[in-house]
Amino acid sequence: MWKAIRNALILLILLLSWTTVAVGASLKSGEMSSLASQGRPLFLHYCAACHGVTGDGDGYNAEQLDKEPAELSSRKFIAKKKDSQIYRVIKLGGHGVKKSHLMPVFGHTLSEKEIWSLVAYVRYLAGDWDHPITLPDNVSSTRPASPPLEHDSLKVFRNWYSKKGKDQSLIDQGEKLFRKKKSCFACHQLEDEGGLVGPDLSRAGFSYTPEWIFTWIGNPQSIKPKSKMPNLGLNNKECRKITAFLASLKGEGIKKKWRDYLGSSGDPIQGKKLFFDSDGKANCGKCHTVNGQGGKVGPQLSFVGTSRTKEFMLESILNPKAVITSGYSSILILTKKGKFITGVKRNEDDSSIDLVNKEGNVLHISKDEIKKYKTQKISIMPGNFKDILTKDEVRHLLAYLGTLKISN
């Protein structure tokens, strides 16, 4: 209903504006300035999950939130705000301007110019043509530096964690930061509550090593430059407390009947052979890259030995569908011609879906060709390794994965 009214309004404004354009207005109504067009891909990547693709406040993550994401397509709402107000909430997050902490901070991830381009795009979504943005002088187009991973700071952390990591009062403070102060809970679930943008963290302590949680949350972009998780500007103490909290969430642990896989350790050299043997029954390298070698269907495993616990890796091999790695969910598409296509979804925008099929080919499918599609709860990774690999072979593979570390 509102959309219809808005579209009618836009059309009306468009018609009326032809006369003004003739006298030389700087921006035609309905036209996207070049600044706003730089903001568009950023908006789709970082904001649409909550605010919706067209800014209506109805992204897939919106109903998970206790506070409704603002309706950025509302002209009434946006027109009364100054550029600097919109700029500040994006840069500092809701918490930084006394609004909901669920609106994340982007000033540690995006350059000043990128944030201005988002301001321009928000005005465009609102159909607010009366306030063209003028960029301030000397606006910087470099993103905030992401400090490289340092082996030393990891050592210091490990030391701290072994002494203080299980301290209940620190764990409680970490939980409070996670749920109430920072925007973590807006994107991550704990026990069926919270956001859906990132992975469910109810079993974070089973899935990730403490040192990995610490490294990742301090600076996601240094590990994965294109991650949708912004750098939240946490200080060292906040990182430690949140890590202590997340690492305490172990869930039920590994199934009893699988525990004896972990009883003795395997041989990493044999594990590597199994991993890359293209005629063998494991042939993990067909889908996984390690240090530049291998396929791209699944996540790269170059430092899985640092990031994942042994229990998690075992579960991944024996029962891949237990946890689907974020960004690797499998999608089933039915085309209008009646063909089924399945693969790992890499990207989706208003007009198309990119996916990688089991053979590793990237397919770009226009939404015009699609009848319906859905994300599946199964993994593209084969589920029968528990039947075809012997216990010792699995142990060898685990030993090999355990050697894949960030810095040796």
Q: Which region among 2-10, 22-30, 154-162, 313-321 touches ligand HEC (by CB under 6 A)? A: 313-321
Angle between helices 112-125 and 83-96 in degrees, nearest 10: 110
* Using rule CB under 6 A, residue 317 touches ligand HEC: yes
Per CB under 6 A, which of residues 172..211 are in contact with ligand HEC?
178, 182-184, 186-188, 195, 197-199, 201, 204, 208
# binding residues, ligand HEC (CB under 6 A):
80
| Burial of residue 78 (number of CB atoms within 10 Å: 0-12, 13-18, 19+) | buried
Per CB under 6 A, which of residues 114..153 are in contact with ligand HEC?
118, 122
Q: What is the CA radius of gyration of the chain?
A: 24
Per CB under 6 A, which of residues 5..34 are in contact with ligand HEC?
none
- Distance between CA atoms of 22 and 13, rounded to whole angstroms? 14
Compute the Cα dihedral for 360, 363, 367, 368 and give only its sign: negative
Q: Which one, 35 or 197, has the nearer CB to ligand HEC?
A: 197
Residue 385 CB partners (closer than 8 Å, separation 6+) = 282, 317, 318, 394
Cβ–Cβ under 8 Å, residues 403 and 268 = yes
Q: Which region among 131-139, 143-151, 230-238, 257-265 touches ligand HEC (by CB under 6 A)? A: 230-238
* Using rule CB under 6 A, residue 213 touches ligand HEC: yes
Which one of 379, 399, 402, 404 is in contact with ligand HEC (CB under 6 A)? 379
Which one of 52, 107, 165, 320 is in contact with ligand HEC (CB under 6 A)? 320
Q: Which region among 8-16, 19-27, 126-134, 306-314 touches ligand HEC (by CB under 6 A)? A: 306-314
Shortest Cβ distance from residue 320 to ligand HEC (Å)? Answer: 4
Vertex 408: Cα angle to 216 and 171 (nearest 5): 35
Per CB under 6 A, which of residues 29..88 are in contact with ligand HEC?
46-47, 49-51, 61, 65, 67, 69-70, 72, 85-86
Per CB under 6 A, which of residues 238..297 are in contact with ligand HEC?
242, 246, 282-284, 286-288, 297
Listed residue (203, 236, 202) closest to 217, CA to CA: 236
* Using rule CB under 6 A, residue 303 touches ligand HEC: no
Shortest Cβ distance from residue 364 to ligand HEC (Å)? Answer: 19
Q: How far is CA 258 from the centre of its chain?
A: 31
Cβ–Cβ under 8 Å, residues 18 and 97 = no
* Using rule CB under 6 A, residue 89 touches ligand HEC: yes
* Using rule CB under 6 A, residue 402 touches ligand HEC: no
Residue 335 CB partners (closer than 8 Å, separation 6+) = 341, 365, 369, 370, 371
